Chain A
Amino acid sequence: MIKLVDITKYYSSGYVKTFALRDINLEVKEGEFMTVMGPSGAGKSTLLYILGMLDTPSSGEYHFFDQKVHRLSEKQLSELHKNHIGFVFQSYHLIDDLTVYENLETPLLYKKVKGAERKSKVAEMLDRFQVVAKKDLFPNQLSGGQQQKVAVARAVITNPKLILADEPTGNLNTKEGQEIMELFKELNEEGTTIIQVTHSEKNASYGRRIVNLLDGWIVD
């Protein structure tokens, strides 16, 4: 499903090049549950953003199914991304001024899904993630765990093939974190590919494969 060939990413400021990723070669198969681990500054998030097509590598090739991502225009990227990829962040990143219902609806609006279908999809998600009672609340009226549930629901509402999670339990307590991880496991069992970044060994244990990063290199 995903194939990275010699991916390098650096930031230049003045005369200094700071490398975030160096010669990354990685293959991810459909249905995998992969964990990226490593200390702060190892390049984990950068890798995730590149995989999520939110950031572009400085060099190297990125194949997503049969598409050459590194050759696509911004518009094509956006199209690919909105149909196949869902994102979950450590700090949830819900839109503060929209209710739970409206937050869930937003990706469907951008996919130009018709009204009736939208309604049923949102209802299905609310039901599945057990947040029906909260649908008219704003994000800041919810606990962290509930917010993250909504964020996951928003990520999966478009039925993406790939879910990218950046320390999804980082801001949650143990019980809430566990719930979220269970959700991921469930999704993975239904066939969704999941790549997560985490510091936690316990969370890593939900996945079946671990990639370690150090100073931008993959280490075994």
Chain B
Amino acid sequence: MFKNYLKIALRNIKKYKGYSFINMAGLAVGMACCILLFLWVQDELSYDRFHENADEIYRVISEIHTADKITHNARTPNPLGPVVKEKYPEVIDFIRYQGFVGWLVQAGDKSFINDNLGTADPSFFEMFTFPFLKGDPKTALSERYSIVISENMAKKYFGHEDPMGKIIRIGKDFKVTGVIRNIPENSHLHFDCIIPIINMEYHWETDLKDWEDIRFYTYIQLHKKSSPEDVSEKISGIIKEHLPKSPTKVYLQPLTDVHLRSDFEADLDNYNQGSMAYVFIFTMTALGILLIACINFMNLSTARSANRAKEVGMRKIAGAQRMDIIKQFLGESILLAFIALIFALLLVELLLPLLNGLSGKHLDLDFSGNIQLLLGLIAIALLTGLFSGSYPSLFLSSYQPVNIMKKDFSSRASGSLRKILVVFQFALTIILLIGTMVIYSQLNYIQNRDLGFDKDHVLEFWTAHADYEALKNELLKNPNILSIANSETPGREPWGATGLDWDGKIAGEEIRFYSTMADPDYLETLNLEMVEGRFFSKEFPTDVTQAVVVNEAAVRAMGMESPVGKRLRFREWEVTIIGVIKDFHQTSLHNPIEPLVFRHSYDFPHVLAKISSKNVPETLVFLEKTWKKFVKHYPFTYEFLDEKIDNFYKTERTIGKVFQYFTSVAILIACLGLFGLASFMTERRTKEIGIRKVLGAKVSGIILLLSREFTKWILIANIIAWPVAYLVANEWLQNFAYRINIGLEIFIFSAALALVIAILTVSYQAIKAAIANPVDSLRYE
């Protein structure tokens, strides 16, 4: 029996090549999209799961409760880890971690500054599973001057020599005590080398006992049975005990949530940060596209059912039960689905480099190490086959042989269900279309929004603590370097604090504020405006220690009437507000403008330079040359401010591109379906068209007649899609503090686009039918 079905199925595929091609191409493309998105989602979900203790490790997150909101900070007070371990038996171990880039690392005659240097408590490799190629994870970091390096770093510094016991100089000499395998990409922790945290205290002036210093990420490992809620409650209590005035509580974030569910201040590795929302959106998109492809398949199969009707009738007369027929047609669609899967896999191989290029991941189709993928693929093909075969098989099996044997049999497959399916399919497509347009408009809006400062032709670089005044004078000799400021950059990670005290503060009213370093040239370099008072000035040497400038948002937050001349106090400093700067977007547009306090920079190793738009390459060469005169060991690296700001929206840009591709695919598949349906509908109306033409209808009239029905469907699809698209898009826009309003024009445009595409698709069939000679269609009556 099975062989019989298989033969029929294969012969059918061969016989109706065009139809089989459309059917399978749609399905294969849909599956390929689905598999690509599946790989992406799988990778996103795999972060940090490779640690043996992954389920027992939590990261301690600070929750800062201020008057109007709760801010989350990924770091915790320096001494928290050790105290927690000592006090609570359910805490097996703790790790404090921090990473740095930009330190000069030397070994032998090689030196680089681009290594990721990590620093952590000595039991780091007992809590986290990073396999060792050489050395012992238990003792590797127990000596103060020990360093564990990655495979890549070992190669970079020592080539083929054995790195064990060799010396690496990072300010002090460290002895290599271990080499680990390169860190997998799906780890939120990334470092090239790691040294014991104790060195922070000795050489980098960090007081590990200072509760007010919040510098490290703290990870704790809990006993399997203890409840993270209880532990976080206890830890909050400890913070209260040591910092009675701090509005900080903590919550424990499972290690496996770090990649997808972190939206915190001062977090690690933020450019690679994932988001659960995107995982959700992509999963839905994948399913949506597969659904569109399945509906296509159903529609085309059903449209062709008249051809198979006779076979069904004969089989029933030969003794087939309805179940036999259902099994046969389901089997056929599953077979088609598996064939489509093979094509889909080829497509995936072809398209993976594109997706990898977009997402910066290194995904591949590797079945051996990925049972999930294999099972996933089989499930996709099986479900696709079952789902897309269900309607045609139920429909075909319902044929009564007696009806088929009658001469005037014509398939009644026009059923309203098929129209509903096409409407649904188009509704999904329109949702994707609107989504893409909203993303595009929002990105456009961000790109063109006035940030309140001039970001073009500003570059920033590090001075390596060279003599700033001398360097500045030397640089300004070049007329293309317009201005230089010794300051921090706008567009950096926000890094807030609480505990600010000001004249007229109501007791207990806390605000979260952000501080930044600037010197008198800052204003000109970024082309900023003052609202009140003045900015720092060389004429007032006391500015360096006694003055601050605040932004308008800070004035509002503190509720000050006339801010200039008011006093501010924070920990050891007490200063006077000398001016109010006009609000500008010092961070990404995801965040609102926060209260900002400018302090005068002093021996600050960072420079902003505004250069002329002319002769940029020459200016850069000059910059580097001059810089080299002052700094010996380090290479010159710089970053343009506009590029840096662009980077904030890297995720959104990637998502936008991915969406664009998948929307195109969805439109393509939906059009294939519409094309098939149109040809079927037109065929059914051949006689009607013939009669109309004999009665004198014009070709244009016929085309209009045939297109009208499809137009109606597309409009209905639009009406269904609009509210859904609006809700989803609006939800996405909530990620931005500054966002577009979704205007009516987006909806109208998407409707128009869908309609044009649909009519183009349908018109081929309509025109063919309309210009056909009516004699041909009426003769066989």
A49-B402, A81-B319, A97-B11 given; name 11 further pairs at CB < 8 Å. Answer: A54-B317, A55-B402, A78-B316, A78-B319, A82-B319, A93-B310, A98-B4, A102-B4, A109-B1, A110-B319, A154-B318
Task: Determine whether the beta carbon of B7 is less than 8 Å from that of A102.
Answer: yes
Which B residues touch A49, using CB under 8 A? 402, 405
Given A49-B402, A109-B1, the answer on whether A93 and B319 have CB atoms closer than 8 Å is no
- Check B314 for interface membership: any CB of A closer than 8 A: yes
Which A residues touch B310, using CB under 8 A? 93, 95-96
In chain A, positions 121-168 with a C-beta closer than 8 Å to chain B are 154, 158, 166
Shortest Cβ distance from A164 into B: residue: B317
Task: Determine whether the beta carbon of B315 is less than 8 Å from that of A54.
Answer: no
In chain A, positions 57-102 with a C-beta closer than 8 Å to chain B are 74-75, 78, 81-83, 87, 89, 93-98, 102
Task: Determine whether the beta carbon of B4 is less than 8 Å from that of A106.
Answer: yes
Task: Determine whether the beta carbon of B319 is less than 8 Å from that of A111.
Answer: yes
Which B residues touch A207, using CB under 8 A? none
- Check B311 for interface membership: any CB of A closer than 8 A: yes
Task: Determine whether the beta carbon of A82 is less than 8 Å from that of B402.
Answer: no
Task: Determine whether the beta carbon of B311 is less than 8 Å from that of A96.
Answer: yes
In the assembled complex, the CB of A90 is this many whole angstroms from the nearest CB of chain B, namely 9
Which A residues touch B319, using CB under 8 A? 78, 81-83, 107, 110-111, 158
B7, B314, B318: most-surrounded residue (chain A CB, <10 A): B318
Which B residues touch A97, using CB under 8 A? 7-8, 11-12, 15, 311
Name the contact of A106 in the complex, choosing from B12, B15, B315, B406 (C-beta under 8 A): B315
Which B residues touch A75, using CB under 8 A? 321
Given A97-B11, A97-B12, the answer on whether A54 and B4 have CB atoms closer than 8 Å is no
Shortest Cβ distance from B315 into A: residue: A106
Task: Determine whether the beta carbon of B7 is less than 8 Å from that of A93.
Answer: no
- Check B392 for interface membership: any CB of A closer than 8 A: no
In the assembled complex, the CB of B52 is this many whole angstroms from the nearest CB of chain A, namely 55
Task: Determine whether the beta carbon of B314 is less than 8 Å from that of A94.
Answer: yes
- Check B656 for interface membership: any CB of A closer than 8 A: no
- Check B313 for interface membership: any CB of A closer than 8 A: yes
Which A residues touch B317, using CB under 8 A? 52, 54, 81, 87, 93
Q: Complex formed: what's the CA distance from A105 to B5 in Å?
A: 12
Q: Complex formed: what's the CA distance from A80 to B321 in Å?
A: 12
Cβ-Cβ contact count across A and B, 8 Å cutoff: 67
Q: Complex formed: what's the CA distance from A110 to B318 in Å?
A: 7
Q: Complex formed: what's the CA distance from A55 to B406 in Å?
A: 12
Task: Determine whether the beta carbon of A54 is less than 8 Å from that of B15.
Answer: no
Given A49-B402, A102-B4, the answer on whether A78 and B314 have CB atoms closer than 8 Å is no
Mark A residues whose CB is within 8 Å of B: 45, 49, 52, 54-55, 74-75, 78, 81-83, 87, 89, 93-98, 102, 105-107, 109-111, 154, 158, 166
Task: Determine whether the beta carbon of B11 is less than 8 Å from that of A54.
Answer: no
Which A residues touch B4, using CB under 8 A? 98, 102, 105-106, 109
In the assembled complex, the CB of B209 is this many whole angstroms from the nearest CB of chain A, namely 84
Task: Determine whether the beta carbon of B318 is less than 8 Å from that of A93.
Answer: no
Task: Determine whether the beta carbon of A98 is less than 8 Å from that of B313.
Answer: no
In the assembled complex, the CB of B320 is this many whole angstroms from the nearest CB of chain A, namely 5
In chain B, positions 2-47 with a C-beta closer than 8 Å to chain A are 4, 7-8, 11-12, 15
Q: Complex formed: what's the CA distance from A158 to B320 in Å?
A: 13
Task: Determine whether the beta carbon of B11 is less than 8 Å from that of A110.
Answer: no
Task: Determine whether the beta carbon of A95 is less than 8 Å from that of B402.
Answer: no
In the assembled complex, the CB of A10 is this many whole angstroms from the nearest CB of chain B, namely 15
How many residues belonging to B are interface residues under a CB distance threshold of 8 Å?
25
Which B residues touch A78, using CB under 8 A? 316, 319, 321
Given A97-B15, A107-B319, the answer on whether A54 and B314 have CB atoms closer than 8 Å is no
Q: Complex formed: what's the CA distance from A89 to B207 in Å?
A: 98
Q: List 22 A-B contacts (CB under 8 A).
A: A45-B405, A49-B402, A54-B317, A54-B401, A54-B405, A78-B319, A93-B314, A93-B405, A95-B311, A95-B314, A95-B315, A97-B7, A97-B311, A102-B4, A102-B7, A105-B4, A106-B318, A109-B4, A110-B318, A110-B321, A111-B319, A166-B405
In the assembled complex, the CB of B512 is this many whole angstroms from the nearest CB of chain A, namely 74
- Check B126 for interface membership: any CB of A closer than 8 A: no
Q: Complex formed: what's the CA distance from A45 to B310 in Å?
A: 17
- Check B324 for interface membership: any CB of A closer than 8 A: yes
In the assembled complex, the CB of B57 is this many whole angstroms from the nearest CB of chain A, namely 60
- Check B626 for interface membership: any CB of A closer than 8 A: no
In the assembled complex, the CB of A199 is this many whole angstroms from the nearest CB of chain B, namely 15
- Check B400 for interface membership: any CB of A closer than 8 A: yes
In the assembled complex, the CB of A91 is this many whole angstroms from the nearest CB of chain B, namely 9
Which A residues touch B316, using CB under 8 A? 78
Which A residues touch B324, using CB under 8 A? 110
Which B residues touch A55, using CB under 8 A? 400, 402
Shortest Cβ distance from B308 into A: residue: A97
Which A residues touch B315, using CB under 8 A? 95, 106, 110
Q: Complex formed: what's the CA distance from A93 to B317 in Å?
A: 10
Name the contact of B8 in the complex, choosing from A89, A98, A105, A107 (C-beta under 8 A): A98
Shortest Cβ distance from B310 into A: residue: A93
Shortest Cβ distance from A109 into B: residue: B1
Q: Complex formed: what's the CA distance from A109 to B6 in Å?
A: 14
Shortest Cβ distance from A74 into B: residue: B322
Q: Complex formed: what's the CA distance from A83 to B319 in Å?
A: 8
Which A residues touch B7, using CB under 8 A? 97-98, 102
Q: Complex formed: what's the CA distance from A78 to B318 in Å?
A: 9
In the assembled complex, the CB of B574 is this many whole angstroms from the nearest CB of chain A, namely 93
Q: Complex formed: what's the CA distance from A93 to B406 in Å?
A: 12
Shortest Cβ distance from B2 into A: residue: A109
In the assembled complex, the CB of A50 is this many whole angstroms from the nearest CB of chain B, namely 9
Q: Complex formed: what's the CA distance from A105 to B318 in Å?
A: 10
Which A residues touch B12, using CB under 8 A? 97
Q: Complex formed: what's the CA distance from A54 to B311 in Å?
A: 15
In the assembled complex, the CB of B332 is this many whole angstroms from the nearest CB of chain A, namely 11
Q: Complex formed: what's the CA distance from A107 to B317 in Å?
A: 8
Shortest Cβ distance from B9 into A: residue: A97
In the assembled complex, the CB of A100 is this many whole angstroms from the nearest CB of chain B, namely 13
Task: Determine whether the beta carbon of B320 is less than 8 Å from that of A54.
Answer: no
In the assembled complex, the CB of A23 is this many whole angstroms from the nearest CB of chain B, namely 21
Q: Complex formed: what's the CA distance from A75 to B321 in Å?
A: 7
A55, A75, A109: most-surrounded residue (chain B CB, <10 A): A109
Shortest Cβ distance from A112 into B: residue: B1
In the assembled complex, the CB of A110 is this many whole angstroms from the nearest CB of chain B, namely 4
In chain B, positions 409-468 with a C-beta closer than 8 Å to chain A are none
B315, B317, B319: most-surrounded residue (chain A CB, <10 A): B317
- Ranked nearest first, the 8 interchain pairs of A and B with the lowest CB-CB distance are A82-B319, A110-B319, A107-B318, A55-B402, A54-B402, A97-B11, A49-B402, A106-B318
A87, A93, A97: most-surrounded residue (chain B CB, <10 A): A97
Task: Determine whether the beta carbon of B320 is less than 8 Å from that of A110.
Answer: yes
Q: Complex formed: what's the CA distance from A96 to B8 in Å?
A: 9
Q: Complex formed: what's the CA distance from A154 to B314 in Å?
A: 11
Q: Complex formed: what's the CA distance from A83 to B406 in Å?
A: 24
Which B residues touch A110, using CB under 8 A? 315, 318-321, 324
Q: Complex formed: what's the CA distance from A89 to B311 in Å?
A: 14
